[in-house]
Amino acid sequence: MKQRKLGSGGLQVSAIGLGCMGMSFAYGGGDDAASIRTMERAVDLGVTFFDTAEVYGPYVNEELVGKALRGVRNKVQIATKFGFRILPHGHGLQRMAGVDSRPEHIREAVHGSLERLGIETIDLLYQHRPDPAVPVEDVVGVMAELVREGKVRHLGLSEVSVATVRRAHAVHPIAAVQSEYSLWSREPERDVLPACRELGIGFVPYSPLGRGFLTGAMTSTAGLAQDDFRRTLPRFQDEAMRSNLTLIGQLQQLATGRGITLAQLALAWLLQQDEHIVPIPGARQIRHLEENAAAAAVTLSSPELAVIDAIFRVDNVQGARYGLGDLALLED
């Protein structure tokens, strides 16, 4: 698989990475043995960029990623995140209790991540969500200390505003900004993506397949596990979903004409928005992983890109991407 650069500090990763959250968190179920096989197959396919976080599980996703990649550490780049207050008891999302980027918590979180992943250095460390109580200069200052100590190689931010990106980058070079970005979540195009281009910062779209919706496999939430958090999202409610499915139908015509899947079309579109964009679609099954990885070889023509843009204009998509509580954690 082709490689892409994130930032100016030498971080080079596969053009498509693997988001590992869904293997352990948020989508219900999970089969560790199958997930390990999927990660091993990803390495075989040339995928080198694996994304996790301490809050996924919590904690167990980092353990799973570490177990799967231990034998190929020199071939991969591992990204993880800190930034949530995690309760000692409860299950899954119930253990998330707001944000926490106090300097002492950052150090505690990184120490725990290193132990769970079984590695000496984190390739890319993100602040998972902004913390209004802690200036980003202080956050990045601690992260930069961790770089100097050899515990971290590169720094990233997630779901932040342009102002925060600029303030952070002035303290220490930021390699990547991670935010939701896909055909039906195009907010980064307003100002964050242009700022990243200007500053030489890479961009990592999470949920690049719209949490599965852009694959065309979902027509309702009926088949989702009861604890699947998509059941709570405005965009997945019945009325919004019915409206959004009309867009999928239009997109399917283009994909069929090209002889590719909807997922491959959506990922190829993202890859052509900028040479420093690296999407991280999730995949629990090998067949989905292989389908996604093949998108790196798809090139869309200018007329095709124009058709896709017309279908997925921002005002054509119905429903917010998060509920009000989660939206409050994102910077505008």
**Residues taking part in catalysis:** 56
| CA–CA distance, 225 with 231 (Å, rounded to integer) | 9
Per the CB < 8 A criterion, the answer to whether 138 and 111 are in contact is: no
- Please say whether the dihedral angle defined by the alpha carbons of residues 320, 321, 323 and 325, taken in this order, is positive or negative: negative
Cα distances (angstroms) measured from residue 228 to each of 30, 159, 248, 298, 327: 11, 22, 22, 31, 18
Q: Is beta strand 176-180 parallel, antiparallel or unpaired with respect to 152-158?
A: parallel
What pairs with residue 84 in β-bridges? 99
Annotate 225-260 with DSSP letters as a single string: -TT-GGGG-GGGSHHHHHHHHHHHHHHHHHHHHHT-
Q: Which of 204, 168, 188 is nearest to 53 (CA)?
A: 204
At 54, list the tokens: 């301490």
Tell me if residue 287 falls in helix, strand or coil. Answer: helix
Tell me if residue 169 falls in helix, strand or coil. Answer: helix
Q: Which of 45, 44, 86 is nearest to 62 (CA)?
A: 86
Q: Which of 16, 26, 23 is nearest to 64 (CA)?
A: 23
Q: Which of 71, 51, 84 is nearest to 118 (CA)?
A: 71
